[in-house]
Structure 1
Amino acid sequence: MRASNSPGAAPSTVDERLSNHTDYALEDDLGFEMVTKVGMMTTDPSSSPTITISGLVPALLGEGEEEETDVNDRTCLIDQEDLNLNDPEVRTAGLANAESCCSISIQVFFPFLVAGFGMVVAGLVLDIVQHWPVFVQVSELFILVPALLGLKGNLEMTLASRLSTQANMGNMDTKQATWSMVYTNLALVQCQAIVVGLVASIFAMLTGWMSEGEFSFEHGLLLCASSILTASVASFALGLVMVLVIVLSRRFNINPDNVATPIAASLGDLITLVLLSIISSTLYGDLESDQWLAPLIIVTYVLLVPVFVILSKRNSHTEKVLYNGWTPVICAMMISSLGGLILDQAISRFDGIAVFQPVMNGVGGNLVAVQASRLSTDLHQTSTLGTLPAAHSKVCSSPWAIFCEPNSDSLSAKILMSFVIPGHLIFTLTIVLLEAGHINHSAFFMVLYLAAALIQVWILLHTAKWMIIFMWKKNVDPDSSAIPYLTALGDLLGGGLLWLTFEILFLTGDHHRDESPILGGGL
């Protein structure tokens, strides 16, 4: 054991090993020192200490060198066998009290409300634009909607999760490190957005062709150009917002895991849907006169992909995602597109469903993204990739285990689950007051709607638990892989459960079909 300003024999118990405001440096397999600030507070010398672990700060130390710190209290450097963060005693004491129920609730609930109102506005926009000529004539756009709205889960939320983890680990504490992390991540997101936008439009074209039995080349170009341009612009704008949020969160001592993903959700749906509507409508209006515009957009963005690839490779963190992060993004896009098929069919029967679709999908994706980001950061801070800490030794557990375990993950899951009913009540009441949705908001409708929302979030939170632990065990970084799958699953579950809700209402005599001449018999 190496120690400075700490005479005496090596302590044998956790209580003895941890003293007031002590910094511990844990050496990993690569010879890096991970300095963990551990503060202990107790008012009674005989009582059990309360230990809080504030974060990990990497420090390169040569063999035999001592780490100079600015900490005024005594500093102790010990080997990992003396203080192992995988030790359940250390981990439980350190992390269980790191964030209180109140602090998590406050940090998450207000961004959650802002995100929810953003989704309500997005739903109102979709309720309006579904009657626009471009959406009526090119119905494949409805298949694109969940896939493009899901980009916030595929790209922006994974960006937020990656940056939150790096910020919490101290890898963005200097301007140079922050700048390197920012521009390479934005370049990576642009590369992914262009590819995903192109693949999503091709999938929408093929699906529309198979379902309708006819194919329009002009409509195909419109879909591709609209999808790529929307994905690129929305991802860049939201990426800048995410960077700003995370930097400010660190400055004001707020856990970015709690606020970054909800803010991405709040702006993501609205910005993406507005951009898709405006861009597709503009291209549709110029379809006859400016036939060169859509191909020019497609070719320009395809040529930019190699540039973004080169920029992304300048940082080791983004380079790994560039090579290994495509499977979850593409698979999530396909899953979201299946949700788009459900939306396309559901709107043809119940166009009142349009205003609720972004809200239902968005709330579920928002909440599970917060939980996934927190779980991922927790694993990054307490173990190495491929090694499960004692608190997460079981990959598969019962569906209720996520709410019953005595740790911070269970606490946050219960808090997030408690937001579902009050959140949806607030958002639905807003829709009612704005007289949107083309339906009568009966008590029976609210019961079915809230039940669907609870089922969706419960499934997502349980899935997040085992998926992230499974990925971690298999040496897959959940920061870049878990959230795309989870938000896409949220889109699929939300669309399916919402359609089921409207079908039950219709079968029980609560008719919600819009009889206006705008749609007639459907799209």
Structure 2
Amino acid sequence: MKPRGDVKGLTIEKLDKLQPTASHVEGRRLLDRASRSSVTLSDCGDGGYSETEPMLAERRLSAEEADEEEEEEEEVEERPRALPNMPKESPLAMALQILLPFLLAGFGTVSAGMVLDIVQHWEAFQFITEIFILVPALLGLKGNLEMTLASRLSTAVNVGKMDSPIEKWNLIIGNLALKQVQATVVGFLAAVAAVVLGWIPEGKFQMSHAVLLCSSSVATAFIASLLQGFLMVGVIVGSKKTGINPDNVATPIAASFGDLITLAILAWISQGLYKCLDTYPYVSSLVCAFFMCLTPLWIVISSKHPASRTLLYSGWEPVITAMVISSIGGLILDKTVSDPDLAGIVVYTPVINGIGGNLVAIQASRISTHLHFHCAPGEVPEEAKGCYYPCRTFWGSGANHRSAQVLLLLVIPGHILFLYTIHLMKSGHTTLTPIFMSVYLSAAMLQVLLLLCISDWMVHSMWRSGKDPDSFSIPYLTALGDLLGTALLALSFHFLWVIGDQDSDVGD
């Protein structure tokens, strides 16, 4: 055991000088508490730093530490601690806070679907169909990175970790740099997955197409992540100043323009690089090399901040696994789009995937914030102990079952509004018949129902295992949303084709 030295520049002697009325025992108690709640780079390197610790207002004590502190507190006058209050809100206030970001996110996904419906006819998408495999993986980055950033910073705001300007900017800069590292690496791996998944069934491989996919994916991931990162920081800071719970608004706004921005950048870059293939074949390689060479810079910046430094080493599992899951959804999309009988699926894919991911991200963020407030890492509330059962998510004594009910009630009216928006814009290739709407809405409802149940189980399980749900759960949940949404939508269109509710000329 090394002797306990200075903690944030404080020693026992200095504490005694600063607080002459406090006893030596009181000074020691404050010093012990400061040493437990502070985080240093050396702590990270020694592996004694938990991902959940930066978000906690104060680390919970073990039984022995608690007894020791109680004995010390008996010798001094008890002083009240100023801890932030958990935001209280009625179901109506919650619904109103969620509604506007939910609608913005929904119209953003509708716009992305319309853009995808247009660009699917571009030369790059026609001759390099593996780009369709990239679409869910890159659109899923908003869940892997942007929504995860939004959830982490929302929890930080609610537990008071962004009250200090220095601590606030340390969190923001470290997390933004970490996000750029992850975006670059995941973009590259998504391109590799697209090349492999496209090569396996067809048995054909073209190096020029593979390099174009890598360049398009890395550049899109980097640029879109940077733009959306700045947007997220503005939303979180603005929510704090206006008194709005950022858990309700940050994750939907992260997705409101995320799909549209990402898809537009992907289409523009891939089409531009495709036109350069014959005349300037080296351009794709240079673009990919440029963005990859920036990675060490972002690593250095993120490693200077304790919270992001920890995730720089431990935060890869969820984002890479989520990318693989989304790529499988992209393979389903690629095979479905190539079937002329199912041409109408393209415009609805970003909508159903995006809405499901947005709603489940809100729920996961709210549950995570509640756990950070009321439970020590590794411990869960009484209602979450024992075997999981689906009714627990929507009914019971838990703190977040009301939010699950509100989110589930938004599914049907939200999708109806978005379907009619697509219809009024004369986009897509499917007529809104009663049979089509019934099948589509059933698929959307089943997707969100499953995601909310999975999020309840997953967030509590990760917290029980000592992992921070803000960093680990949302990538898995949004990727599952992409996979479930694409698979259920493909099954729905196959079913509609079988029963004869089919047309492929609307919007042509």
Q: TM-score, normalised by structure 2?
A: 0.84
Distance 2:149 2:336 in 1: 32
Q: CA offset at residue 32 of structure 1?
A: 4.4
Q: Secondary structure at the match of 1:339?
A: helix
Residue 512 of structure 1 aligns to which amino acid in structure 2?
D
**Residue from 284, 290, 297 that aligns with 1:307:** 297
**Deviations 1:66-114, CA, capped at 9 Å, x for gaps:** xxxxxxxxx95289xxx9x9xxxxxxxx97x821101110110110000
Q: Does residue 484 of structure 1 match 2:487?
A: no
Shift of the 476–28 alpha-carbon distance from structure 1 to 2, 3 Å rule, reads: farther
Decide which structure has greater helix share. Answer: 2
Give the letter for the 1:479 counterpart.
D
Residue by residue over 1:317-366, the C-alpha shift from the partner in whole angstroms, topping out at 9 and shown as x without a partner, is 11111111101100000000000011011112212111000000000000
- 1:28 Cα deviation after fit: 7.2
One-letter code aligned to 2:378: G
Aligned match of 1:271: 261
Alignment map for 1:156-305 (pairs within 5 Å): 156-305=146-295
Cα drift, residue 512 of structure 1? 3.1
Shift of 1:200: 0.3
- 1:400, CA displacement in angstroms? 2.0
Q: Equivalent residue for 1:6? A: none
Task: Please state how far the C-alpha of 1:398 moved relative to its aligned partner.
Answer: 1.3
* Alpha-carbon distance in 1 for matches of 2:367, 2:303: 27
Aligned sequence identity (%): 49
Within a 5 Å distance, the mapping from 1:89-104 to structure 2 comes to: 98-104=88-94
Question: For structure 1, which runs of at least 5 residues remain unmatched after alignment?
Answer: 1-24, 34-54, 66-74, 86-93, 519-523
Greater shift, 120-129 or 375-384, is seen at 375-384
Tell me how far 1:56 sits from its aligned partner: 7.7
Say which SS state the counterpart of residue 301 (structure 2) adopts.
helix
Q: Is the 8 A contact 2:427 2:506 kept in 1?
A: no
Amino acid of the structure 2 residue aligned with 1:77: P
CA contact (8 A) 1:261 1:366 kept: yes
* TM-aligned CA deviation for residue 183 of structure 1: 1.1
Describe the SS at the equivalent of 1:355: helix
Asked if 1:462 corresponds to 2:453, the answer is: yes
Q: Out of 428, 435, 447, which is 1:444 matched to?
A: 435
Q: 2:492 matched to 1:504?
A: no
Retained in 2: the 8 A contact 1:148–1:272? Answer: yes
d(CA) in 2 for partners of 1:100 and 1:28?
Answer: 35
| Cα distance in 2 for residues equivalent to 1:154 and 1:211 | 28
CA distance in structure 2 between the aligned counterparts of 1:107 and 1:297, rounded to whole angstroms: 41
**CA gap 1:282/1:28 in 2 versus in 1, 3 angstroms:** same
Question: Residue 335 in 1 paired to residue 325 in 2?
Answer: yes
User: How many angstroms does 1:406 deviate by?
Assistant: 2.5
Which residue in 1 is equivalent to 2:15? none
What amino acid maps onto 1:441 in structure 2? L
**Whole-Å Cα distance in 2 between the matches of residues 317 and 29 of structure 1?**
17
Could you tell me which residue of structure 1 aligns to residue 426 of structure 2?
A: 435
Q: Does 1:120 align with 2:110?
A: yes
Matched AA of 2:493: F
From 379, 382, 385, the equivalent of 1:393 is 385
Distance 1:298 1:346 in 2: 29
Partner of 1:77: 80
Tell me if structure 2 keeps the 8 A contact 1:56–1:168.
no
1:105 is aligned to 95
Q: Greater relative contact order (Cα 8 A, min sep 6): structure 1 or 2?
A: 2
Task: Note closer, same or farther for the CA distance 1:28–1:418 as it changes in structure 2 (3 Å cut).
Answer: farther
Contact kept in structure 2, 1:146 and 1:337, CA below 8 Å: yes
Query: Any gaps of 5 or more consecutive residues in structure 2?
Result: 1-29, 39-54, 60-68
Task: Give yes or no for contact 2:435–2:501 (8 Å, CA) kept in 1.
Answer: no
Q: Distance in 2 between matches of 1:177 and 1:240?
A: 18
* In structure 2, C-alpha distance between the alignment counterparts of 1:173 and 1:351, rounded to whole Å: 51
| CA 1:57–1:386: 2 relative to 1, 3 Å | closer
Separation in structure 1 between the aligned mates of residue 282 and residue 166 of structure 2, nearest angstrom: 42
- Hey, what's the Cα distance between the residues in 1 that align with 2:141 and 2:37? 35
For residue 143 of structure 1, what is the aligned residue in structure 2? 133
In the aligned structure 2, how far is the partner of 1:168 from the partner of 1:196? 29
Is the partner of 1:366 in helix, strand or coil?
helix
Q: Aligned-pair distance for 1:58?
A: 5.7
Residue in structure 2 matched with residue 403 of structure 1 by the alignment: 394
AA aligned opposite 2:465: K
Structure with the largest fraction of strand: 1
Deviations 1:18-57 (A, max 9, x none): xxxxxxx9x9796549xxxxxxxxxxxxxxxxxxxxx985
What secondary structure does 1:440 align onto? Answer: coil
Q: Please give the residue correspondences for 1:14-25 in structure 2 after superposition, counting only pairs within 5 Å.
A: none
CA distance in 1, matches of 2:505, 2:277: 30
Counterpart amino acid of residue 196 in structure 1: V
**Secondary structure of residue in 2 paired with 1:211:** helix
1:451-499 Cα deviation digits (max 9, x unpaired):
0001000000000001011111111111111000000000000001001
**How much does 1:375 deviate?**
0.7
The separation in 2 between residues aligned to 1:393 and 1:316, in whole angstroms, is: 32
Partner secondary structure for residue 354 of structure 1: helix
Distance 1:385 1:296 in 2: 46
Residue 210 of structure 1 and its aligned partner are, at CA, apart by: 1.1
